[in-house]
Amino acid sequence: MMEDTTVYVPTLEDMLAARERIASYVHRTPVLTSRMLDELTGAELFFKCENLQKAGAFKARGATNAVFGLSDEQARKGVATHSSGNHGTCLSYAAGQRGIPCTVVMPRTAPQAKKDAVLGYGGRVVECEPSTSSREAVFAEVVAQSGAEFVHPYNDHRVIAGQGTCSAELIEQIDDLDAVIAPIGGGGMVSGTCLTLSNLAPHVKIYAAEPEQADDAYRSFKAGHIIADDAPETVADGLKVPLKELTWHFVQAHVADILTASEREIVDAMKLIWKRLKIVMEPSSAVPLATILKNPELFAGKRVGVIVTGGNVDLDKLPWN
Amino acid sequence: MMEDTTVYVPTLEDMLAARERIASYVHRTPVLTSRMLDELTGAELFFKCENLQKAGAFKARGATNAVFGLSDEQARKGVATHSSGNHGTCLSYAAGQRGIPCTVVMPRTAPQAKKDAVLGYGGRVVECEPSTSSREAVFAEVVAQSGAEFVHPYNDHRVIAGQGTCSAELIEQIDDLDAVIAPIGGGGMVSGTCLTLSNLAPHVKIYAAEPEQADDAYRSFKAGHIIADDAPETVADGLKVPLKELTWHFVQAHVADILTASEREIVDAMKLIWKRLKIVMEPSSAVPLATILKNPELFAGKRVGVIVTGGNVDLDKLPWN
């Protein structure tokens, strides 16, 4: 495996190695179905519940793979990332499992609940100002002082190989899928899905679902090169980040289409899933169902895996209240 | 099997027959765990997720057993009940699976969502005035006209045998349980649990959990005879009904203790479960965790099955908002 984590493209073997490496530390998450949602969409939907994953998100997979793939020498110096979302929490979880230090750089303005989530798993939070320049400066200092290994939220071959274990499980749990759909932000889950399915089930179509108000991946896909949005605003706050080289590599090669949904459609789909599947999940995780409801002709009569990416939502600020 | 459903006490054989009878129509529900909740309670908690059951509640088990145990002749005349809660919805679901009529008598003042749930599975709603006398008169008329079989929400051997299949699954899914705890209202789930565990795992202690504000089962248990509350008010609205002869039979014989929790403790426990387990469940289903948190000495160091009874909650009226 090459040392430069930004250009090495992970392979099926990396995904299989990840699966073995992380097996004791992550859940094989259940797949739920709903007769009512099937009737509503005309499709057979299989919801892969990564909201029930350790630390509440699929990102536990990639983070755990990165952490447990480190040499003992590197591990002693710990890991670090900048993320105020699920990746920070999940990296803290994974580091805790290995018993190594984890530092997450976060804007001081990030919600206390996000900081508490990192702290709850034993990680350290270092605050920066809410600007890219401050974040980069503070992060560089953290790495310089500790020698910690940087684990990027998605543009990292170890992370993508880890996320690929989700669809590897899904195709074992559910036979004869015609399609899989996942939300797309930075593209880590979609890239992992592409990695796994293009090798193990190449007939399965891969769709990505994105908020209209943060449709940089959609526009990148149509344009044929990466386009980054400038500070998009969407209720699906896990999906604001742009594609990077590695995830773009997978998206442009293997994704059948990127579908978008409005804020209202996302919230309606989220409520429908809570009501019908009885699960707590994030707005980001509702974008796939929102796009399925909007594009029935693409999915009717098909067996569709739907990745429910995470469940870390503020119960005091539900978007329909 | 005797015809009089109010006095026949169901046996292990009835539960085993129920299990086979309902297997194609109900889910084998998953069991979820949370490291955080284990740390908080000092116990190992195994949440049996009947909120993920068909029609959103364990009552699909008993209702399905009753419906599929009918002779073809009786089945043609259909089933009927009076319930504005999960039993009505679940009986409608079960009848729909067999393709037979189902009538649910409900006060005209019941929430439209409850009526819609029955209608959504193909059942018929007949409204009565919100009084016991009106309900009984209307229900008698429904049965006289249709010849429908009355399926009581809990004081029915077929229903109790069906509910008993839940703990039969649980002890297959989780080894070496020390205790099982379930909420208690009319006592159908607790009775089914007693039926199964007293036969198959008699060393497992059975606890019942009840709201302080509707503690008729607790007071009955202490007094040694059934005491019914007069219109109790609690956020755990599935637990307002009193014990009846059949459920009292099981409760007095096999329950180790009945524990109670305040409204505030119930809502706090509910929110904790939503946050940590990422599942949508009813206030009633949170009463067990509330009592575990309140009585750590009873559960610390123990492996405890916790029955999450249902997930049909109004997302627009969450009790912490």
Q: What is the complex's ipTM, to 2 decimals?
A: 0.91
Cβ count near A38 (within 10 Å): 14
The pairing of strands A102-107 and A179-183 is unpaired
Chain A CB contacts of B311 below 8 Å: 278
For A127-185, the pLDDT digits (tens) are 999 888 999 999 999 999 999 999 999 999 999 999 999 999 999 999 999 999 999 99
Query: Rounded to whole angstroms, how far apart are CA atoms B40 and B37?
Result: 5
For B225-272, the pLDDT digits (tens) are 999 887 899 999 999 999 999 999 999 999 999 999 999 999 999 999
Q: Do A164 and A195 form a contact (C-beta atoms < 8 A)?
A: yes
Continuous segment of H or E residues that includes residue A48? strand A44-49
Tell whether the model's pLDDT for residue B73 goes beyond 50.
yes
Tell whether the model's pLDDT for residue B1 goes beyond 50.
no
- Determine the pLDDT at residue A1: 38
C-alpha atoms less than 13 angstroms from C-alpha of A194 in its C-beta half-sphere = 25
Query: Rounded to whole angstroms, how far apart are CA atoms B205 and A129?
Result: 54
Considering CB atoms only, which of B30, B32, B315 is closest to A271? Answer: B315
Query: Rounded to whole angstroms, how far apart are CA atoms A303 and A176?
Result: 7
> If you ran DSSP here, which 8-state letter would residue B279 be given?
B
Mutate to test the interface with B, among A278, A313, A314, A317 (most CBs of B within 10 A): A278
Residue type (1 letter), B184: I
DSSP three-state, residue B98? helix
The total domain count for chain A is 2
**Using 50, 70 and 90 to split pLDDT, how confident is the model at B3?**
very low
Tell whether the model's pLDDT for residue B4 goes beyond 60.
no
Q: Are residues B167 and B244 both part of a single domain?
A: yes
- Determine the pLDDT at residue B113: 87
Q: Do A291 and A207 form a contact (C-beta atoms < 8 A)?
A: yes
- Determine the pLDDT at residue A157: 98
- Determine the pLDDT at residue A111: 87
**Using 50, 70 and 90 to split pLDDT, how confident is the model at A231?**
confident
The gap from C-alpha A18 to its chain's centroid, in whole angstroms, comes to 16
Q: Do A285 and A302 form a contact (C-beta atoms < 8 A)?
A: no
Query: With the CA atoms of A237, A240, A241 and A247 taken in that order, what torsion angle do they form, in degrees rounded to the nearest 10?
Result: 90
Indicate the residue among B102, B129, B150 that finishes a domain. Answer: B150
Look at residue B321 and tell me if it is in a domain.
Answer: no
Domain that residue B177 falls in: 12-57+156-308
Q: Are residues A44 and A181 both part of a single domain?
A: yes
- Across chain A, mean pLDDT equals 95
> If you ran DSSP here, which 8-state letter would residue B93 be given?
H
Q: Are residues A46 and A69 both part of a single domain?
A: no
Look at residue A321 and tell me if it is in a domain.
Answer: no
Residues linked to residue A179 through DSSP beta bridges, in sequence order: A205, A304
What are the E-state strand segments in B226-316?
257-261, 303-308
Query: Which tokens belong to A209?
Result: 């679902």
Q: Are residues B224 and B300 both part of a single domain?
A: yes
- A59-68 and A12-22 helices, crossing angle to 10°: 90
Q: Of B244, B266, B237, nearest to B110 (Cα)?
A: B237
Alpha-carbon distances, residue A218 vs A233, A311, B299 (angstroms):
16, 24, 52
- Determine the pLDDT at residue A181: 98
> Does A280 contact B279 at a Cβ distance shorter than 8 Å?
yes
Q: Are residues B216 and B270 both part of a single domain?
A: yes
Tell me the Ramachandran region of residue B204: left when phi exceeds 0, alpha when psi lies from -120 to 50, beta otherwise: beta
Q: Do A287 and A162 form a contact (C-beta atoms < 8 A)?
A: no
**Using 50, 70 and 90 to split pLDDT, how confident is the model at B132?**
confident
- Determine the pLDDT at residue B111: 87
Chain B CB contacts of A281 below 8 Å: 278
Tell whether the model's pLDDT for residue B209 goes beyond 70.
yes
Q: Do A247 and A191 form a contact (C-beta atoms < 8 A)?
A: yes
Min Cα separation A252/chain B (Å): 33
**Using 50, 70 and 90 to split pLDDT, how confident is the model at A256?**
very high
Q: Of A144, A151, A110, A114, nearest to A129 (Cα)?
A: A110
Q: Which strand ranges, in their side-by-side order, compose the sheet holding A124-128?
A: A124-128, A102-107, A79-82, A149-150
C-alpha atoms less than 13 angstroms from C-alpha of B296 in its C-beta half-sphere = 7
- Determine the pLDDT at residue B2: 42
Q: Are residues B43 and B74 both part of a single domain?
A: no
The pairing of strands A31-32 and A44-49 is antiparallel
Q: Are residues A172 and A256 both part of a single domain?
A: yes
> Does B321 contact A320 at a Cβ distance shorter than 8 Å?
no
Q: Are residues B24 and B121 both part of a single domain?
A: no
- How many A×B Cβ pairs under 8 Å? 46
Look at residue B315 and tell me if it is in a domain.
Answer: no
> Does A280 contact B280 at a Cβ distance shorter than 8 Å?
yes
Look at residue B280 and tell me if it is in a domain.
Answer: yes
- At which residue do the structure tokens 């202490």 appear? B222
Query: Rounded to whole angstroms, how far apart are CA atoms B286 and B277?
Result: 12
Query: Rounded to whole angstroms, how far apart are CA atoms B62 and B59?
Result: 5
- Average confidence (pLDDT) over B206-223: 97
Alpha-carbon distances, residue B285 vs B39, B45, B202 (angstroms):
20, 14, 24
- At which residue do the structure tokens 């490291």 appear? B35
DSSP three-state, residue B214? helix
Look at residue B2 and tell me if it is in a domain.
Answer: no
More confident residue, B43 or A109: B43
Continuous segment of H or E residues that includes residue A145? helix A132-146
- Determine the pLDDT at residue B230: 77
The gap from C-alpha B314 to its chain's centroid, in whole angstroms, comes to 18
- Average confidence (pLDDT) over A269-274: 98
- Determine the pLDDT at residue A3: 45
Indicate the residue among B150, B178, B202 that finishes a domain. Answer: B150
- Determine the pLDDT at residue A48: 98
**Using 50, 70 and 90 to split pLDDT, how confident is the model at A2?**
very low
Q: Are residues B64 and B126 both part of a single domain?
A: yes
Alpha-carbon distances, residue A194 vs A182, A316, B63 (angstroms):
11, 35, 44
Q: Are residues A53 and A75 both part of a single domain?
A: no
More confident residue, A2 or A56: A56
Q: Are residues A82 and A114 both part of a single domain?
A: yes
Min Cα separation B55/chain A (Å): 9
Look at residue B1 and tell me if it is in a domain.
Answer: no
Q: Do B45 and B89 form a contact (C-beta atoms < 8 A)?
A: no
The pairing of strands B205-211 and B257-261 is parallel
| Rounded (to 5) percent helix, strand, coil in chain A | 50, 15, 35
Chain A CB contacts of B282 below 8 Å: none
Q: Are residues B73 and B40 both part of a single domain?
A: no
> Does A316 contact B316 at a Cβ distance shorter than 8 Å?
no
Q: Do B242 and B228 form a contact (C-beta atoms < 8 A)?
A: yes
Min Cα separation A274/chain B (Å): 7
For B75-104, the pLDDT digits (tens) are 999 999 998 889 999 999 999 999 999 999
Q: Percent of chain B at pLDDT above 90?
A: 92
The gap from C-alpha B22 to its chain's centroid, in whole angstroms, comes to 16
Min Cα separation B253/chain A (Å): 34
Look at residue B4 and tell me if it is in a domain.
Answer: no
Indicate the residue among A122, A150, A178 that finishes a domain. Answer: A150
Look at residue B313 and tell me if it is in a domain.
Answer: no
What is the CATH classification number for the domain harbouring B128? 3.40.50.1100
